[in-house]
Structure 1
């Protein structure tokens, strides 16, 4: 295994732990139908039946980025997180939000991208592929 340096390892785990927290907490709030989250999602135009569905996927994504292995699931989880965040940005913009309300989803997208980019080789799809044959 290649030595990645303590700074990169710390940055990876910090960004990944924060990413997981920023998806698990609202995910649980949606599943449990926290009144604040229900009101905000209603304001953004989402129907009530959609909240537990979205919440479960958020929690599952948070778990997957933390567990070892599961390389294919990790790629799907990171992609799902970006889909979720871009949906949040579009929903907020369509609801008339601007400024700080839009900054947070962009910041979270950057955090997700940082976690994805810094993940170790054993958490990447490319790490599981055999080297191409040469002629």
Structure 2
């Protein structure tokens, strides 16, 4: 892995982790406003209890991505982040909140960058040469 790729990986991964932790904690404590807050969830038509589920999974996903080893769990975490953020973008588009997709789109891009540039020891080794 080149130094450039390692820098891209860690910058994307740290920003992804920060974004997921901040929004996840906000959802766990049921913030009224802000990204992923109760107002957003209600406006999008989702039940409030979903906030706790999403918040917990975001925190667990961050742990999975940051902890060394366990590449299969990392793949699941990245997939979860991808589906979560793409779902958020689609949800905002459906209700007409075009200006509200920026945060979700940024986290989606960071997810893709972190996944693409992850080091070999954080990838699943399928034995393919």
TM over 0.5: yes
The residue aligned with 1:70 is 70
**Aligned pair 1:25/2:22, yes or no?**
yes
Q: Give structure 2 stretches of 5+ with no counterpart.
A: none
The residue aligned with 1:51 is 51
Matched residues in 2 for 1:67 and 1:47: separation?
32
Matched residues in 1 for 2:115 and 2:106: separation?
14
Matched residues in 1 for 2:72 and 2:2: separation?
25
Displacement, 1:131?
Answer: 5.2
Across the aligned residues of Structure 1 and Structure 2, the Cα RMSD in angstroms comes to 1.4
Q: Give structure 1 stretches of 5+ with no counterpart.
A: none
Secondary structure class of the residue paired with 1:109: helix
Quick check: which has more Rg, 1 or 2? 1
The residue aligned with 1:38 is 38
Deviations 1:45-88 (A, max 9, x none): 11111110111001111111111011110000000000001110
- Normalised by the size of structure 1, how large is the TM-score? 0.87
The residue aligned with 1:7 is 4
Describe the shift of the 1:89–1:130 C-alpha distance in structure 2 as closer, same or farther (beyond 3 A): same
Matched residues in 1 for 2:23 and 2:68: separation?
23
Displacement, 1:94?
Answer: 1.4
- Residue correspondences, number: 126
